[in-house]
Amino acid sequence: MAQQAGAGRRYVRAFVSGFFVAVPVTVTVLDRFAYVARVEGASMQPSLNPEGNVTGSDVVLLNRWSVRNYQVRRGDIVSVLSPKNPQQKIIKRVIALEGDFIKTLGYKNRYLKVPDGHFWIEGDHHGHSLDSNSFGPALRTPWRARCSVKCCVWCSHGVSCQVFGVQTTQMNVVWHIRGFFFFQVSLGLVHGRASHIIWPPNRWQRIEPSIPPERMPLLNWHADATEDEEKD
Protein backbone atom coordinates (compact mmCIF):
# COMPACT_ATOMS: atom_id res chain seq x y z
CA MET A 1 0.00 0.00 0.00
CA ALA A 2 2.73 2.42 0.93
CA GLN A 3 4.51 1.59 -2.29
CA GLN A 4 1.41 2.36 -4.35
CA ALA A 5 0.90 5.66 -2.54
CA GLY A 6 4.52 6.55 -3.17
CA ALA A 7 4.27 5.69 -6.85
CA GLY A 8 1.03 7.68 -7.16
CA ARG A 9 2.61 10.75 -5.58
CA ARG A 10 5.59 10.44 -7.90
CA TYR A 11 3.31 10.32 -10.95
CA VAL A 12 1.40 13.37 -9.76
CA ARG A 13 4.63 15.28 -9.18
CA ALA A 14 5.94 14.26 -12.61
CA PHE A 15 2.68 15.32 -14.23
CA VAL A 16 2.61 18.69 -12.49
CA SER A 17 6.23 19.48 -13.30
CA GLY A 18 5.70 18.36 -16.91
CA PHE A 19 2.60 20.52 -17.14
CA PHE A 20 4.43 23.58 -15.91
CA VAL A 21 7.08 23.06 -18.55
CA ALA A 22 4.89 22.13 -21.50
CA VAL A 23 2.16 24.75 -21.22
CA PRO A 24 4.32 27.91 -20.92
CA VAL A 25 6.70 26.70 -23.62
CA THR A 26 3.84 25.93 -26.01
CA VAL A 27 2.12 29.24 -25.32
CA THR A 28 5.38 31.15 -25.81
CA VAL A 29 6.13 29.39 -29.08
CA LEU A 30 2.62 30.09 -30.40
CA ASP A 31 2.83 33.73 -29.34
CA ARG A 32 6.35 34.56 -30.47
CA PHE A 33 7.53 32.15 -33.13
CA ALA A 34 5.01 30.31 -35.22
CA TYR A 35 1.29 29.85 -35.39
CA VAL A 36 -0.84 27.53 -37.50
CA ALA A 37 -4.21 28.64 -38.83
CA ARG A 38 -6.90 27.43 -41.18
CA VAL A 39 -7.92 29.88 -43.89
CA GLU A 40 -11.65 30.36 -44.31
CA GLY A 41 -13.46 32.26 -46.99
CA ALA A 42 -12.81 33.09 -50.58
CA SER A 43 -11.26 36.51 -50.38
CA MET A 44 -7.73 35.30 -51.12
CA GLN A 45 -8.49 33.10 -54.12
CA PRO A 46 -6.64 31.88 -56.11
CA SER A 47 -3.61 32.09 -53.83
CA LEU A 48 -5.30 30.50 -50.82
CA ASN A 49 -8.36 28.24 -50.74
CA PRO A 50 -8.64 27.93 -54.52
CA GLU A 51 -11.51 25.46 -54.37
CA GLY A 52 -13.29 27.11 -51.49
CA ASN A 53 -14.35 25.10 -48.48
CA VAL A 54 -15.58 22.18 -50.58
CA THR A 55 -12.43 20.10 -50.67
CA GLY A 56 -11.01 21.45 -47.44
CA SER A 57 -9.51 24.77 -46.53
CA ASP A 58 -5.84 25.56 -46.66
CA VAL A 59 -3.86 25.53 -43.44
CA VAL A 60 -1.02 28.05 -43.35
CA LEU A 61 2.01 28.48 -41.13
CA LEU A 62 2.24 32.01 -39.75
CA ASN A 63 5.67 33.30 -38.84
CA ARG A 64 5.30 35.56 -35.80
CA TRP A 65 9.02 36.11 -35.21
CA SER A 66 9.52 37.98 -38.48
CA VAL A 67 6.86 40.57 -37.62
CA ARG A 68 8.00 41.20 -34.05
CA ASN A 69 9.27 44.65 -35.09
CA TYR A 70 6.27 45.28 -37.33
CA GLN A 71 8.35 44.86 -40.45
CA VAL A 72 6.19 43.80 -43.35
CA ARG A 73 7.03 43.95 -47.03
CA ARG A 74 4.80 44.76 -49.96
CA GLY A 75 3.38 41.56 -51.42
CA ASP A 76 3.48 39.53 -48.18
CA ILE A 77 0.42 37.65 -47.08
CA VAL A 78 -0.15 38.62 -43.47
CA SER A 79 -2.68 37.88 -40.80
CA VAL A 80 -3.92 40.87 -38.82
CA LEU A 81 -6.29 41.30 -35.91
CA SER A 82 -9.52 42.55 -37.37
CA PRO A 83 -10.28 46.19 -36.58
CA LYS A 84 -13.98 45.30 -36.63
CA ASN A 85 -13.81 42.32 -34.31
CA PRO A 86 -10.84 41.99 -31.95
CA GLN A 87 -11.25 38.24 -31.61
CA GLN A 88 -11.05 37.54 -35.33
CA LYS A 89 -8.00 37.43 -37.53
CA ILE A 90 -8.10 38.25 -41.20
CA ILE A 91 -5.56 37.16 -43.76
CA LYS A 92 -4.83 39.39 -46.72
CA ARG A 93 -1.99 40.60 -48.91
CA VAL A 94 0.01 43.76 -48.15
CA ILE A 95 -0.26 46.11 -51.11
CA ALA A 96 1.21 49.35 -49.78
CA LEU A 97 3.15 50.56 -46.75
CA GLU A 98 3.13 53.91 -44.97
CA GLY A 99 3.75 56.85 -47.25
CA ASP A 100 2.71 55.09 -50.47
CA PHE A 101 0.25 56.64 -52.86
CA ILE A 102 -2.21 54.12 -54.19
CA LYS A 103 -5.10 54.08 -56.58
CA THR A 104 -8.10 52.49 -54.94
CA LEU A 105 -10.88 50.59 -56.69
CA GLY A 106 -14.26 51.47 -55.30
CA TYR A 107 -13.18 53.27 -52.14
CA LYS A 108 -14.59 56.74 -51.55
CA ASN A 109 -11.30 58.53 -52.35
CA ARG A 110 -9.85 57.58 -55.68
CA TYR A 111 -6.21 58.16 -54.76
CA LEU A 112 -4.95 58.05 -51.25
CA LYS A 113 -1.77 58.25 -49.27
CA VAL A 114 -1.35 55.57 -46.64
CA PRO A 115 -0.84 57.38 -43.30
CA ASP A 116 2.11 56.82 -40.98
CA GLY A 117 1.99 53.65 -38.96
CA HIS A 118 -0.59 52.07 -41.29
CA PHE A 119 -0.50 49.76 -44.25
CA TRP A 120 -2.94 48.79 -46.95
CA ILE A 121 -4.15 45.22 -47.35
CA GLU A 122 -6.31 43.68 -50.05
CA GLY A 123 -7.73 40.29 -50.85
CA ASP A 124 -6.67 38.67 -54.10
CA HIS A 125 -10.16 37.71 -55.17
CA HIS A 126 -11.71 40.20 -57.55
CA GLY A 127 -15.11 38.73 -58.29
CA HIS A 128 -17.82 36.47 -56.99
CA SER A 129 -20.89 34.80 -58.33
CA LEU A 130 -23.72 34.47 -55.92
CA ASP A 131 -26.98 32.62 -55.79
CA SER A 132 -30.12 34.44 -54.73
CA ASN A 133 -30.76 31.59 -52.32
CA SER A 134 -28.20 33.22 -50.10
CA PHE A 135 -30.11 36.47 -50.02
CA GLY A 136 -33.71 35.49 -50.43
CA PRO A 137 -36.43 36.79 -52.68
CA ALA A 138 -36.01 40.43 -51.71
CA LEU A 139 -33.05 40.82 -54.06
CA ARG A 140 -34.57 39.15 -57.09
CA THR A 141 -35.05 42.40 -58.96
CA PRO A 142 -32.00 43.21 -61.03
CA TRP A 143 -30.54 46.58 -60.23
CA ARG A 144 -27.24 48.29 -60.51
CA ALA A 145 -26.36 49.69 -57.15
CA ARG A 146 -23.85 49.97 -54.43
CA CYS A 147 -25.03 47.71 -51.67
CA SER A 148 -25.00 48.95 -48.11
CA VAL A 149 -22.78 47.48 -45.49
CA LYS A 150 -25.30 45.20 -43.85
CA CYS A 151 -27.02 43.48 -46.76
CA CYS A 152 -24.15 41.60 -48.30
CA VAL A 153 -22.52 38.68 -46.55
CA TRP A 154 -19.10 39.78 -47.78
CA CYS A 155 -19.76 43.39 -46.92
CA SER A 156 -19.61 42.46 -43.27
CA HIS A 157 -15.95 43.27 -43.74
CA GLY A 158 -16.99 46.86 -44.30
CA VAL A 159 -16.24 47.46 -47.95
CA SER A 160 -18.39 48.31 -50.89
CA CYS A 161 -19.66 45.81 -53.39
CA GLN A 162 -20.98 46.77 -56.78
CA VAL A 163 -23.74 44.69 -58.27
CA PHE A 164 -23.03 44.90 -61.97
CA GLY A 165 -24.64 42.00 -63.72
CA VAL A 166 -27.49 39.54 -63.50
CA GLN A 167 -28.22 36.24 -65.20
CA THR A 168 -31.64 34.71 -64.83
CA THR A 169 -31.97 30.99 -65.04
CA GLN A 170 -35.11 29.03 -64.58
CA MET A 171 -34.86 28.53 -60.88
CA ASN A 172 -32.93 31.42 -59.49
CA VAL A 173 -31.10 34.60 -60.19
CA VAL A 174 -27.34 34.55 -60.20
CA TRP A 175 -25.78 37.80 -59.13
CA HIS A 176 -22.34 38.70 -60.32
CA ILE A 177 -20.96 40.82 -57.60
CA ARG A 178 -17.62 42.47 -57.74
CA GLY A 179 -16.64 42.47 -54.14
CA PHE A 180 -13.35 43.94 -53.23
CA PHE A 181 -11.84 43.54 -49.81
CA PHE A 182 -9.54 46.28 -48.75
CA PHE A 183 -8.45 47.80 -45.52
CA GLN A 184 -6.13 50.39 -44.20
CA VAL A 185 -4.95 48.99 -40.89
CA SER A 186 -2.61 50.11 -38.20
CA LEU A 187 0.77 48.35 -38.08
CA GLY A 188 0.15 47.46 -34.44
CA LEU A 189 -2.55 45.02 -35.53
CA VAL A 190 -0.25 42.80 -37.55
CA HIS A 191 -0.23 39.26 -36.20
CA GLY A 192 1.97 37.11 -38.42
CA ARG A 193 3.30 36.55 -41.92
CA ALA A 194 2.02 33.51 -43.82
CA SER A 195 5.16 31.75 -44.96
CA HIS A 196 4.05 28.27 -46.02
CA ILE A 197 0.92 26.36 -46.88
CA ILE A 198 1.14 23.13 -44.93
CA TRP A 199 -2.18 21.37 -45.66
CA PRO A 200 -3.51 19.77 -47.84
CA PRO A 201 -0.33 17.91 -48.80
CA ASN A 202 -0.79 18.48 -52.53
CA ARG A 203 -0.59 22.23 -51.84
CA TRP A 204 2.64 22.23 -49.81
CA GLN A 205 4.50 25.33 -50.93
CA ARG A 206 6.36 28.36 -49.76
CA ILE A 207 4.37 31.55 -50.15
CA GLU A 208 6.33 34.11 -52.14
CA PRO A 209 5.64 37.84 -51.85
CA SER A 210 4.11 39.24 -55.02
CA ILE A 211 1.82 42.10 -55.92
CA PRO A 212 -0.48 42.02 -58.93
CA PRO A 213 1.10 44.54 -61.34
CA GLU A 214 -2.03 46.67 -61.62
CA ARG A 215 -2.08 47.17 -57.84
CA MET A 216 1.48 48.42 -57.38
CA PRO A 217 1.72 51.68 -55.42
CA LEU A 218 2.23 54.75 -57.53
CA LEU A 219 5.02 56.35 -55.59
CA ASN A 220 6.41 56.47 -52.10
CA TRP A 221 6.55 59.68 -50.12
CA HIS A 222 9.38 58.58 -47.87
CA ALA A 223 11.54 56.72 -50.37
CA ASP A 224 14.92 58.19 -51.23
CA ALA A 225 15.77 59.11 -54.78
CA THR A 226 17.27 55.75 -55.69
CA GLU A 227 14.13 53.82 -54.83
CA ASP A 228 11.47 56.11 -56.21
CA GLU A 229 9.09 54.61 -58.74
CA GLU A 230 6.81 56.89 -60.63
CA LYS A 231 4.05 55.45 -62.69
CA ASP A 232 1.44 57.23 -64.73
Partner 1 sequence: MAGGDMFRRVLGKTLGFLGYTVQYGCIAHCAFEYIGEFVACSGPSMEPTITSHDVVFSERLSRHLCRIEKGDIVIAKSPFDPHMNICKRVIGLEGDKICTSGPSDVFKTHQYVPKGHVWLEGDNLRNSTDSRSYGPVPYALIRGRVCLKLWPPHNFGALNQSPTGRIVKRSD
Are the beta carbons of 185 and 83 closer than 8 angstroms? Answer: yes
Instruction: Please give the DSSP secondary-structure letter assigned to residue 22.
Output: H
The only residue of 166, 187, 211, 219 in contact with partner 1, by rule CB under 8 A: 187
What's the Cα-to-Cα distance from 196 to each of 46, 51, 217, rounded to whole Å? 15, 18, 25
Here's the x/- map for partner 1, 56-95, by CB under 8 A: it reads as -------------xx----------xxxxxxx--------
In the bound state with partner 1, the residue whose beta carbon lies nearer, of 43 and 47, is 43
Does residue number 115 form part of the binding site for partner 1 (CB under 8 A)? yes
52 is an interface residue for partner 1 by CB under 8 A: no
The sign of the torsion formed by the CA atoms of 205, 35, 82, 71 equals negative
Q: CB of residue 29 vs partner 1: minimum separation in angstroms?
A: 8
Query: Considering the complex, what minimum distance in angstroms separates the CB of residue 26 from partner 1?
Result: 9
Closest to partner 1 by CB, 75 vs 83, is 83
Residue type at 198?
I
Sequential DSSP letters for 197-227 = EEESGGG-EEPPP---GGG--SEESS--GGG
* Amino acid occupying residue 202: N
Catalytic residue among 47, 92, 148, 195: 92
Q: Residue 198: how many CB atoms within 10 A of its CB?
A: 14
Applying CB under 8 A, does 46 fall inside the site for partner 1?
Answer: no
Nearer Cβ to partner 1, position 20 or 204? 20
Residue 76 · residue 209 · CB < 8 Å: yes
- Catalytic center residues: 43, 92
Binding site for partner 1 (CB under 8 A): 20-21, 23-25, 27-28, 31-32, 69-70, 81-87, 115-118, 185-190
